Structure 1
């Protein structure tokens, strides 16, 4: 009787040991599968990516079942990668979302980056800050590992806006590691982009911004030797980078450069950064300069000062004789003050000399004021005398109030004295209004034909017919 019991116990123990062993092996296997799946979700071979970018799920012109199978598998991998990124971006905690995105990108190998880039770009709007941060980090890592592959991939991207932004990220990373290779790329593969005005400006600035952190003398010598447009971008990038940490050093290096528009703009940029931290020092330095350099530096310094202490910057201008105040100085302070206290900025502008800078700035002030207190801005405008100053304010009020009350906006526009400005403001307003409420816009034109020229009245009454002719 004891033998069967012993046998049963023995078999039971053996069974338990087997179960325990199997459980251990299953756990290990699950971990391997999990790691493998995560890797697979972020991995896709290049041929599959080309099919996705071209909108094809199977290879064109091929009846080979293996090719079709591979293409289908690639599509699943891209979908899985997008799903992984979507899951990260759906995290309600922004800090965790950033941490997880950074971990996702940092874990990628160079071979996994093309599909990860697609996943990031297709999982969020282009303006999404977290997506932009992750894409920038990915491209920086890719460029550090294999800049040639990164540039080659970007050249094939369909979305030209994304390709342009990616190019700058890759070039920035390359310039931080090897400025000479960055220059070679700009002269060769990037030569067509460099010929474009603003693109050349930006490319040169991108290289100079990174190079100057390593070798300021070499970076500035290169920047100073460039054609004017690229020179502006390079000098601005280099000197602003220095000024961010040492404005005195940036000011010293500025005076070693050839005079011209590029140096003038750089002087203004240095002064603007400097004034945000030490406005008195920035103003004292600006007043030691001469000619266009002095005017650029003083105006931008006042703008930087006004971004933090607008009343103090305005008081400084008030101490300058009226005949010596410039358009740039009044415009800079007026615009910066408008962003913080538009009603006070508008009142200050009334007391300034009648210049273009004053007229430009009042539009900025009234636009901000209307968004805060439309009735207050309207009452103030009614008190202003006729002229460009008032007209510009009315134009800004009409623009700011249009979304909420288009009828009121175009009615205000009709009170502008300048014929050309009045006609243009009404034209834009009625055309936009007719897209939303065509009958109301038409009624307004009919009821206010006395403030319109016969030609404009007829044109606005026939907007619908214009649309028909275009079709």
Structure 2
């Protein structure tokens, strides 16, 4: 498939997204025949024919497009999106003014469909008659439609008259998103004349824009002409521009022309700074790792910087492990340096685990976990949990606190809860004591509350141990109060046990007070336990004092606390 067709298909993907926003009402009515706007027509749009997919008979192209839109209105997607994109392109090529006018009459066209189709029309019009396209753009009142039409139209104009397009760009640097216009136009020019595009990019004042563009232009040059691109990049004057160009060319070749990348990686220009030479080689190794790992491993010997060597070893091991674990493992064992071999082994485990949860389970079960490898153990367990969450959780809990941070168990439980929350909850309830040692009960229930607060609270209330229940309920209330204070208050009012309601109020009033201070204070007055009441009032007035100190003082006055506790509260807000 040509890159031209791929670009059209990409633009038309927005049509699919537009449909999800609502129904489409195509009204492609007849437009005025503005021959002075369209330029010299190659053929009338109404005269172009295409085959009806059902009957095989020829039908006018404009009718075919209108029929497709009408079918979309009824929820029937086109069988071939690329074909439809090409039909719109042909419609615009034949009579862009007519196509543009028809689009303006589609008053209820969904934004995704409208903008994508408008962009195709603009680009074709810009190639035929850029002046007429610019004139039509003035009639677009919607800011994004105007900007999108100009961008696509001038991208097309770059094919017809690059000097005209660049002159227009220079005169319109005041436009919003001017850098986006510059990037798009020069990137388009690079598909026509990469050397001219690169020279024009070199004249830009914005260093970041210049850098990004030069890299993009060099990569596009390498995509179509790898030999010429490498020769050109190598011939540039020594400096950062040359290094950037060679890097972009080599990285692109490593993915699209791996044999060329292997050939030229051994022949990088001598005047490259050693660090940049190593960075380029590292990127080539990364690109080759999935398709030519053996050849990539041989390039490691070209690296002069120890840090770049270690980074490249890890990159290769991880990506090779994704594709062929056994072959990658054999290569890792051949690494002579123990430190580099250890880095490669860890990276290999990551790559293998990403590709196969079962492999993660096997690796984790066989590994000796230490404080140096606890992060890797956490990752492996998370991957393991995708196929055996109970086994992964049990393995994590079997490790010592010294060897394993609590975050590893948390991530494993999160993976489990997303797949089967009831099973994960049952496991937490059965092992609450073990989780409590690592403060994981509140963490787990806070995560659960983020997805379903009511279900999380109902489950938290079922915890048998009073300490576990307190921890779980508090975490659910706190998590809910941050997202939905009203729901948290409703939960508090539903508690029948005074003790649970008391410490529930204490746990959430500081959050609720930020939005509804008087409601929070009212709940502090319903607390029956004196210690909990004091803590609740103090938390409330401290939160309120951050934005209304007078209101905080009034609350202390009306709190019913003993004088000594009131004094502490006064001092706290001053």
What interval of TM-score do these two structures reach, taking the shorter chain for normalisation? 0.5 to 0.7
- Change in Cα spacing, 1:343 to 1:259, as seen in structure 2 (3 Å) is same
CA–CA separation in structure 1 for the residues paired with 2:243 and 2:155: 25
Residue 281 (structure 1) aligned with residue 263 (structure 2): yes
Question: Map of 1:71-470 to 2, 5 A cutoff?
Answer: 82-85=69-72, 90-92=77-79, 94=80, 98-108=82-92, 109-114=99-104, 119=109, 137-144=120-127, 146=133, 149=136, 153=140, 156-157=143-144, 169-170=152-153, 172-179=155-162, 181=165, 184-185=168-169, 188=172, 192-193=176-177, 200=179, 204-226=182-204, 227-255=206-234, 256=236, 259-260=239-240, 264-275=243-254, 276-286=258-268, 288=270, 289-317=272-300, 326-346=309-329, 348-349=331-332, 352=335, 354=339, 358=344, 361-362=347-348, 364-370=350-356, 374-386=357-369, 391=374, 393-411=376-394, 422-431=405-414, 433-434=416-417, 437-446=420-429, 447=431, 450=434, 454-462=438-446, 463=449, 464-469=476-481, 470=483
CA–CA separation in structure 2 for the residues paired with 1:348 and 1:238: 36
Question: Map of 1:1-20 to 2, 5 A cutoff?
Answer: none
Bigger CA drift: 275-284 or 433-442?
433-442
Q: State the Cα deviation string for residues 406-433 of structure 1 (Å, max 9, x = none).
A: 4445556657889798433443454565
CA–CA separation in structure 2 for the residues paired with 1:413 and 1:297: 40
Q: Name 1:71's counterpart in structure 2.
A: none
Answer 1 or 2: which has greater helix percent.
1
CA–CA separation in structure 2 for the residues paired with 1:417 and 1:150: 68
Q: How many positions carry a matched residue from both structures?
A: 377
Q: Name 2:28's counterpart in structure 1.
A: 42
Whether the 8 Å CA contact 1:224–1:257 is kept in 2: the answer is no
- Change in Cα spacing, 1:382 to 1:167, as seen in structure 2 (3 Å) is farther
Whether the 8 Å CA contact 1:220–1:238 is kept in 2: the answer is yes
- Change in Cα spacing, 1:407 to 1:300, as seen in structure 2 (3 Å) is same
What secondary structure, in the 3-state scheme, does the structure 1 residue paired with 2:250 have? Answer: helix
CA–CA separation in structure 2 for the residues paired with 1:363 and 1:421: 17
- Change in Cα spacing, 1:394 to 1:258, as seen in structure 2 (3 Å) is same
Q: State the Cα deviation string for residues 22-78 of structure 1 (Å, max 9, x = none).
A: xxxxxxxxxxxxxxxxxx843488xxxxxxxxxxxxxxxxxxxxxxxxxxxxxxxx9
Q: State the Cα deviation string for residues 354-406 of structure 1 (Å, max 9, x = none).
A: 46974784365134332xxx333322343344468855554444444555554
Q: How does the TM-score come out when normalised to structure 2?
A: 0.52
CA–CA separation in structure 1 for the residues paired with 2:237 and 2:291: 30
CA–CA separation in structure 1 for the residues paired with 2:477 and 2:222: 57
- Gaps spanning 5+ residues in structure 1: where? 1-39, 46-77, 125-130, 195-199
The Cα shift of 1:294 comes to: 0.5
CA–CA separation in structure 1 for the residues paired with 2:400 and 2:233: 46
- Change in Cα spacing, 1:300 to 1:157, as seen in structure 2 (3 Å) is same
CA-based RMSD of the aligned residues comes to 4.8
Whether the 8 Å CA contact 1:434–1:440 is kept in 2: the answer is yes
CA–CA separation in structure 1 for the residues paired with 2:171 and 2:404: 45
Whether the 8 Å CA contact 1:307–1:337 is kept in 2: the answer is yes
- Change in Cα spacing, 1:212 to 1:467, as seen in structure 2 (3 Å) is same
- Gaps spanning 5+ residues in structure 2: where? 1-25, 32-64, 93-98, 450-475, 485-574
Q: How does the TM-score come out when normalised to structure 1?
A: 0.61
The Cα shift of 1:230 comes to: 0.9
